[in-house]
A and B are shown apart, each in its own frame.
Chain A
Amino acid sequence: MNRSEQSTIETAINASWLAQDLDISLFEPLLPTSPFDVVFNCDDQMGGLSLEPFHAPKVLPIQLSQSLPRTIGFSFPESPEWLAPQTKVEDSDHNKPSRVQPKKNEAESDEVQDEGASGNRGRVTRIRPPGDLVRLEDRLYYVLQPPLESIVQTAKLTFPFQPFPYQLEGIAFLFPRSAAILADEMGLGKTMQAITAIRMLLLSSELKNVLLICPKPLVTNWIREFRQWAPEIPLAIIEGDAAKRNWIWNNPQAPVKIANYELMMRDRDVFEENALHFDLVVLDEAQRIKNRNSTTSEIVRSIPRARSWALTGTPIENSVEDLVSIFEFLSPGYLRDDMHLKSLGNATRDYILRRTKDKVLTDMPPKLFRPADLELTGDQRASYRTAEEDGIVQLSEMGESVTIHHVFELVLRLKQICNFDPATGSSAKMERLEADLEEIAASGQKAIIFSQWVQTLDVLKERLAKYQPLEYHGRIPSGKRDAIIDQFKNNPKNKVILMSYGAGAVGLNLQFCHYVFLFDRWWNPAVEDQAINRAHRLGVKQPVTVTRMMSLDTIEQRIHDVLEQKRELFNTLFAEAGTPKNLGLNQKEIFGLFGLNAPKIQSKAA
């Protein structure tokens, strides 16, 4: 309506309101009119007066515009079809594109259990556009997709177990993102969420070729998980000699290729030589690239790709630089080391999804921490005191030439004495462990024992022979490791498995085991958490009891205090609670373990 029309309407409205306000009692009544049959002469009656010109009442038109409202529209000619896949018979050769049937009635999924089903009825999990998506059309593309529950139902996607609601949210988080970190606590099913998101993107033709890179020991785990959660997806495993690997890299038949970090070092030139490009590169245990100057980090960052996902339960192990390094893979230059923690949290919020078991698995049996703070035996205390005093004297005498490595040597020597007295072999921890294992074995349960030293595991193997302990550490060839896990799971005679943090901390699923012993402490609480979560995973039926062994009034206790501060850093970033007091075990703190002052020029230690 134009201004003139508007004005006209308003005039009419004002006039009508005015009329309503008039009091008609103020007007004199009209005189009766002359009957129609009386004829009178107008000229005589009017005495020659002339009539005033007739004025018709003013008509105020209200005109309505006939135009319809303006619209914005999008059509989706390439809308995902989400076609139901056909499963095919299993092909035993991984390197040929293979299709496999899901294993039915498998006793335990590595990642989930069937309890998720009950929470999904009537639930709607929507795919939401990531914050960095700008075009309205692109954003609406995701907003207007049906909820995941509907896609799963109508596409007839089958799962070995119904995903938990939080897992569907994780899938919905990954699905639209070209850069994402799935940082769920260990054991919540990052593998399953990544596989299902990949599966849905492949089915919707948004992806054609995917590269998944994981630590070498976890390759078989990924294959097993793909068989369970996406049996129709052909896999190609990068393995074998150079010629074979080259053939596999260039094999277009398998949409998902699985490589390990170690092999990437050898095949770094393959991408350039063959002009390979991936629609998606997924890094499992992405903390492997926390050092951006490492060769591994440089290689994975150089892979030509459209999307980048990182899976890790510990995006920060030591300092925020770990996270910045992972982002160098996801979105180079997006973060800086000198960013304030709060800014970092704001900048990464849309890219990181982290859930913890206590928040999403309220029904999951708890982790029960049982600190075993032990006094050293007399022999141990004597050895410890001597070693410490001698060591500190030596360090002090070195003056400015002392390095962080000298301090580390002393720390390691003292920690080893905390485990076993080097002269007599006496051990307060061993005494406690034997007592606990007696009870655990008697109740038909099993236990995992972690140590940072293979030598310690060797001693434990000997002392715990009656429990027929199995070994899983760096000296065990990777080809034998799966069989060891199977044996531990299935043979009731093997009550104990001895693991090093390095080999056993990631990717394994030992939720049938309800007791974990940390015989000594690792430098990093995140690695300890990973170790614990081998047992405390989805599928666990009972509480998991974690016994942390620590020798009182020793270097272990002092390190423990620093580790707690590291844990505070991690919680601070993800809880947005402010800036922590300390960012890790720095050189000053390491020197401070012995009351020494750090030399002025030292490299950062841990």
Chain B
Amino acid sequence: MQENKPKTTISIGFLTVRHHPMHGFFGGYLIVNDLARPLEFHCTLPLQPTRAQQILYGATLNEFVCGEQIARALVTKAKCVPAVLFADTQAVLTLRHMHPLPVGVIEFQEDQAAPLPRPLISRDDFHRFKIFGHNVTMLREYAGDAAAFDALFDGSKPTLDLLEPFGRIEEALLEAHPATKAA
């Protein structure tokens, strides 16, 4: 069959960290092309913060575990480097301190019935902007990264739903860690 071969020009990262009351933190990282097709997927094994981490990081524990541990591990493992990284929890934003990848968090309506809820953080001093109708937050000190998001799809309407890949990651996490399904 003859086919049109649209040239894929960008890849986009989607990263989520979820918390399970018994098993701890799970991270999943999906890189897709501009047609939403999966290119690469990574997930972490369940991570329980140590007592030492709980003592030392206190109120910022989630930021340390999600951003500096899980997100960093995932982004480092991936072979493909996306143009930007979308996350769905602000706890991941601290990744930016240790990795040059522009990170923005898309605001979600928290689903109370989600099998694996997102970790929360208490700070609220973020840089906020809008992209394709979605509210996005990033660390104030990296506000310049917003330009990378604006450049996505050359400013035209995206060909993919920016929220949808997170659903895939969550399902993949449940698939990879069947024990979490029971909770």
The chain A residues found within 8 Å of chain B, CB to CB, are 1, 5-6, 9-10, 13, 62-65, 68-76, 79-86, 88, 124, 126, 129, 136, 139-140, 143-147, 150, 153-155, 202-203, 232-234, 255
A-B contact pairs, 14 of them (CB 8 A): A6-B51, A10-B51, A64-B53, A71-B27, A73-B42, A73-B78, A75-B39, A75-B41, A75-B79, A79-B37, A81-B5, A86-B4, A143-B171, A144-B41
Residues of B within 8 A of A64 (CB): 50, 52-53, 56
Cα distance A383–B1 when bound, in Å? Answer: 66
How many angstroms between the C-alpha atoms of A124 and B36 in the bound complex?
A: 14
Dominant secondary structure at the B interface? mixed
Provide the B151-171 mask, 1 if CB < 8 A to any CB of A, else 0: 000000001110011011001
Does B72 lie at the interface of the complex (its beta carbon under 8 Å from any beta carbon of A)? yes
Closest partner residue, chain B, to A8 (CB atom): B52
Contact of B168 among A80, A136, A146 (CB under 8 A): A146
B73 contacts A68, C-beta separation under 8 Å: yes
Contact A9 B41 (CB under 8 A): no
Complex contact A83–B168 (CB within 8 A): no
Q: A69-B44, A75-B39, A76-B38 are in contact. Are A202 and B55 (CB under 8 A)?
A: no
Q: A6-B51, A146-B168 are in contact. Are A72 and B176 (CB under 8 A)?
A: yes
B-side interface residues toward A, CB under 8 Å? 1-6, 27, 30, 32, 35-45, 47, 50-53, 55-56, 69-70, 72-74, 76-80, 159-161, 164-165, 167-168, 171-172, 175-176
Given contact pairs A62-B52, A140-B41, A140-B172, A68 touches B76 in the complex (Cβ within 8 A): yes
B69: which A residues are within 8 A, CB to CB? 68-69
Please, which residue of chain B has its CB at the minimum distance from the CB of A70? B45
CB B91 to nearest CB in A, in angstroms, measures 14
B1 near A143 with CB under 8 A, answer no
Task: Give CA–CA (A72, B173) in the complex, Å.
Answer: 11
Knowing A9-B55, A154-B35 touch, does A68 contact B172 (C-beta < 8 A)? no
A129: B residues at CB distance < 8 A: 175
Known A-B contacts A1-B50, A71-B43, A82-B35; the reply to A140 vs B78 at CB < 8 A is no
Is A71 in contact with B45, judged by CB distance below 8 angstroms?
Answer: yes
Chain B CB within 10 Å — which of A155, A202, A233 has the most?
A155
| B73 close to A71 (CB less than 8 A) | yes
Complex Cα spacing A150 to B167, Å: 13
Contact status B77-A232, CB under 8 Å: no
Q: Compute how far the CA of A211 lies from the CA of B175 in the bound complex, rounded to whole angstroms.
A: 33
Residue with the highest number of chain B CB atoms closer than 10 Å, among A6, A84, A145, A154:
A154
CB distance from B75 to the nearest CB of A (A): 10
Q: How far is the CA of A185 from the CA of B127 in the complex (A)?
A: 55
Known: A68-B73, A69-B70, A69-B73. A80 touches B37 (CB 8 A): yes
Q: Is the pair A150, B42 in contact by a Cβ cutoff of 8 Å? A: no
Do the beta carbons of B176 and A140 come within 8 Å of each other?
yes
* A72 cross-chain contacts in B, Cβ below 8 A: 42-45, 176
CA distance A69 to B42 in the complex (A): 12
Determine whether the beta carbon of A255 is less than 8 Å from that of B73: no
Q: Is the CB of A143 within 8 A of B51?
A: no
Q: Which residues of B contact A69 (CB under 8 A)?
A: 27, 44-45, 47, 69-70, 73
